[in-house]
Amino acid sequence: DRKKKFDRDSERYYSMLDKHLNLSSKKKEAQLQEADLNGRFIQLYGASDVSGDVSADIRSAKSRRMNVLFSIRLADRADVVVDKEKQNFYESSLEYVYQIQEVQESKKFSIVEPVLAFLHCLFTSNSLTFELTQDFLPYKQQLQLSLQNTRNHFSSTREEMEDLKKRMTDAPIVCKLKGQSTIEGYLYSQEKRALGLTWVKYYCKYEKEGKSLNLIPVEQKPGSRQVSQELTLKSCIRRKTDSIDKRFCFDVETNERQSTITFQAFSETNRRLWIEAMDGKEPIYHSPITKRDEMELNEVGFRFVRKCINAVESTGMTTEGVYRTVGSNIQVQKLLNAFFDTKCPGNIDLQSSDCDIKTVTSALKFYLRNLSEPVMTYKLHRELVSAAKSENLDYRLGAIHCLVYSLPDNHREMLELIIRHLSRVCEYSKENLMSTSNMGVIFGPTLMRAQEDTVAAMMNIKFQNIVVELLIEHCDKVSRTISKSVTQNKVTMLQLTVLRCGGCICFLV
């Protein structure tokens, strides 16, 4: 009965745990932040002072906020339920082990006693010789004494086991036996398969002395022999919560694999134990580029962007999800620190290094996002957004062209470099599945952003995406006009006169 109870509790606990591990807090945090901004906006200005569209957006955001808060409460409740189920499973496991131990100990006398009784009856009832009965008597007495001692030992041991089981139920004891690994247990590993990324369950053993990590697959495929994987640990770092949808994750680097391995533990406590055993570190939250001159569009920055572009155009043009897929945070930090090293800045070849395309594209986006002034400057941000709001396509193109031409020379050069590259990447959209609209969503907030994070700036994000999308779609037209004006050195620059009338911008030629 206890075996059946243990099987039921075990199946229920692991089934609930698998569902619980699929919960994500990444999207909830972003949605909650957006809803909070909208809530503050309506508190400041009141619902009657905003337009119909904005008011509808805010009402929608408030509704999303309620849904998010409800989801967070459900997640918190799920944590509590899983903890209770874990405790129940733990108690059931202890009870089952205790039962096995009790049965094994009782076998020492429960089998011998009936045999001894049978022999006693055999000797007394069958009129055997007196000499034979006397010969058996000392053996019988010795056996009876041993059985009595065994029973007494069983009773005392039973009390000790009951006390130990109670103490372990109240406060679980983690002990390490001689010859046992530093830490071992189940982990999920993120792996790339033919149909995309999937999570595979392994039983993992880590030995700290030799930094040896052994992965044993839990699900064995029928008809195939799956051997364990022996890896040597290089480093371990906790995964940022907002960098992945899964919870309780940490990254591991090994000598045998070029790419980083992402593991998912069963709980926050379980993850902490693994990270401590592997001497892991916390993720870096600050920018690796610390000096202000390294955040400018200087010679080193241009060299970095050109090398990233060359690396992508050499090997990554047909990579599915290029620029959308995020690389390892550890590898990105290493690449940026190596390239912007003050002793030898730019002295690294991206094409011959171990960096994969995801790392290169993530590093490029990181650099552009962390410039002290965005490529499309703060000064022109409002005008660019207003131009993107126009329904007339010709007007939008002309206005954006004039504003782009009015950028500082180094900003305009960088913008043209990036836009031409993105246009070439979009030519392979059938292979990499990256259309101009996708690129606009990714590079809109990267190339242009408001100087202050306000509700209005948040509402204008989609227009930033439209500006970048238009620049990519009409790359040749805009760039050719700019180049021609520069070479002829006669700029009849559509004599830009900006008239702000109720938030509109009119371009007079």
Is 80 exceeded by the pLDDT of residue 415?
yes
pLDDT (tens digit, 9 = 90+) per residue, 173-198?
555 555 567 888 889 999 887 777 88
Confidence of residue 446 (pLDDT cuts 50, 70, 90): very high
Q: What is the pLDDT of residue 508?
A: 35
Three-state SS for 280-345 is CECCCCCCCCCCHHHHCCCHHHHHHHHHHHHHHHHHCCCCCCCCCCCCCHHHHHHHHHHHCCCCCC
Burial letters 110-142, b for 16+ CB under 10 A, else e: eeeeeebeeeeeebeeeeeeeeeeeeeeeeeee
Give the contacts of 195 (CB within 8 A, at least 6 positions apart): none
Tell me the mean pLDDT in the region 27-43. Answer: 45
- Quick check: 301 and 417 in contact, CB under 8 A? no
Domain 292-369 falls in which CATH fold? Phosphatidylinositol 3-kinase; Chain A (1.10.555)
Residue 382 identity: R
Which range, 14-18, 62-66, 305-309, is most confident? 305-309
Span of 6-10, 215-219, 363-367 with lowest mean pLDDT: 6-10
Domains 292-369 and 378-506 share a fold: yes
Share of the chain above pLDDT 70, in %: 72
What tokens does 344 get? 């030898």
What tokens does 462 get? 């989609």
Nearest to 330 by CA among 256, 265, 234, 264: 234
Query: Would you call 371 helix, strand, or coil by DSSP?
Result: coil
Is 70 exceeded by the pLDDT of residue 269?
yes
Q: What is the pLDDT of residue 266?
A: 86
Is 50 exceeded by the pLDDT of residue 428?
yes
Is 50 exceeded by the pLDDT of residue 49?
no
Q: Which CATH number fits domain 183-277: 3.30.465.10, 2.30.29.30, 3.30.1490.20, 2.60.120.330?
A: 2.30.29.30
- CA 172 to the chain's CA centroid: 29
Q: What is the pLDDT of residue 224?
A: 61
| CA 441 vs CA 123, 220, 320, 375, 411: distances in Å | 95, 42, 16, 16, 20
List, in sequence order, every residue forming a beta bridge with 215; answer none if it has no partner.
204, 229
Rounded to whole angstroms, how far apart are CA atoms 439 and 428? 13
pLDDT (tens digit, 9 = 90+) per residue, 302-339?
999 999 999 999 989 999 999 998 888 778 888 888 88
Domain 378-506 falls in which CATH fold? Phosphatidylinositol 3-kinase; Chain A (1.10.555)
Span of 49-58, 161-170, 445-454 with lowest mean pLDDT: 49-58
Backbone angles phi, psi at 382, to 5 degrees: -65, -40
Backbone angles phi, psi at 177, to 5 degrees: -80, 160
Residue 185 or 166, more confident:
185
Q: In the structure, how many helices (H) and strands (E) does the chain have?
A: 17, 8
| CA 492 vs CA 49, 411, 495: distances in Å | 42, 21, 7
Rounded to whole angstroms, how far apart are CA atoms 440 and 473? 10
Q: Where are the domains of the chain?
A: 2-101, 111-170, 183-277, 292-369, 378-506
Mean pLDDT of the chain: 76
Tell me the mean pLDDT in the region 78-94. Answer: 75
pTM > 0.85: yes or no: no
Tell me the mean pLDDT in the region 144-149. Answer: 80
